[in-house]
Amino acid sequence: MPELPEVESTVRELKKNILGDFLQDVWSEKERKDLKRVEGKRIEEIRRFGKNISFFLDNGEILLIHLRMTGHLLLGNWELKKNSATEKEEWWSKEPILQDKRNGFLRVIFFLASGKQVALSDPRKFAKVSLLQKKEMEKIIQELGPNPLSIKKKEFKKLFEGRKKEIKPLLMDQAFLAGIGNIYAAEILFKAKVNPCKKASLLKEEEVERIYYFTREILKKGIKLKGDSTSDYRLPSGKKGGYQECHLVYKRDNLPCFECKEKIKRTVVGSRGTYYCPSCQKKE
């Protein structure tokens, strides 16, 4: 699932390849006349806000992409061919990138002046692509919580004041902190030795401090390993990230805890699958 480390890895790889390039043409599976406005525009900046990817264009508009659950962006080289049998358009790749099935669900393709292409592959079609004015973008940024990688400890601790919610759904609340999702929330709370359903208001100061420290440590590790490809996420190159190789608790139910050998459990907290060690992450 694309969370902060996956989106950050995507943005970094895109910046290396297409910063300053010009958008020339757009193809989309669903009719998107509005996206035609990007044609001829230069990509002046590419930035991450929480789990959002934003392309700042030279006319002041912002192309915003949210990958939701199964979306990911690919750099590639495809050509469009007609399938006469169904009259449906099909994409064929010249590169081995599409040999990975996850990379074959192309919904939108941006053609750049350099000849490069950026495609959105998204099996479940949940990803959101929109073209925003500056004001609309500012509103989105304003509604997001702080960046967990830049907030200071003092400010972080303040966020918890008066919050009654369970800690895991709170960490995943994008208005509380921007960028944490189900996988990293579980990993962070395991390292911090905090039970995922403990009410935030009941957390001791040391617990909040550990959450602060390990939020940063785990997210940075996620970025270093270029994200988690447990599910559909791939880098723009089409390759997998590496975080799925070092899960501490996520998807490890019934396997021994790396700290105490107790069996990892799966429960549901805030209607999300939640993995934790019942012995290392006691509620009291």
Instruction: Catalogue the active-site residues.
Output: 2-3, 51, 272
Task: Out of 93, 103, 182, 195, name the contact with DNA by CB under 7 A.
Answer: 182
The binding track of 207-236 with respect to DNA, each residue x by CB under 7 A or -, is ------------------------x-----
Cite the beta strand spans of 106-244 per DSSP E: 106-112, 117-121, 128-132
Distance CA 212, CA 206 (A): 10
* Relative orientation angle of helices 182-191 and 205-224, to the nearest 10 degrees: 130
What track of x and - describes contact with DNA for positions 78 through 117 (by CB under 7 A)? Answer: -----------------------x---x------------
What is the chain's Cα-based Rg? 20
Taking CB under 7 A as the criterion, the residue among 124, 224, 261, 263 binding DNA is 124
CA–CA gap between residue 266 and residue 251 (Å, rounded): 8
Tokens of residue 83, six digits: 């399938």
Nearest to 154 by CA among 208, 195, 219: 208
| Residues 50, 153: Cα–Cα separation, whole Å | 19
Binding mask 35-74 for DNA (x = CB under 7 A): ---------------xx--------------x-xx-----
Among 126, 158, 245, 256, binds DNA (CB under 7 A): 126
159 binds DNA (CB under 7 A): no
Distance CA 18, CA 211 (A): 36
Q: How far is the CB of 168 from DNA (least distance, A)?
A: 10
Residue 270 interacting with DNA (CB under 7 A): yes
* Distance in angstroms (rounded) separating the CA atoms of residues 26 and 30: 11
The least distance separating DNA from the CB of residue 101, rounded to whole angstroms, comes to 6
- Which lies closer to DNA via its Cβ, residue 23 or residue 50? 50
**Total residues at the site for DNA (CB under 7 A)?**
27
273 binds DNA (CB under 7 A): yes
Q: Is 241 in the site for DNA (CB under 7 A)?
A: no
Pairing of strands 43-49, 23-28: unpaired
Nearer Cβ to DNA (151/170): 170
Shortest separation between residue 113's beta carbon and DNA, angstroms: 31
Q: Check: CB of residue 273 under 8 Å from CB of residue 182.
A: yes
Strands (E), 122-169: 128-132
State both tokens at 258: 């790396």
Binding site for DNA (CB under 7 A): 1, 3, 50-51, 66, 68-69, 101, 105, 123-126, 164-165, 169, 172, 174, 181-183, 231, 266, 270-273
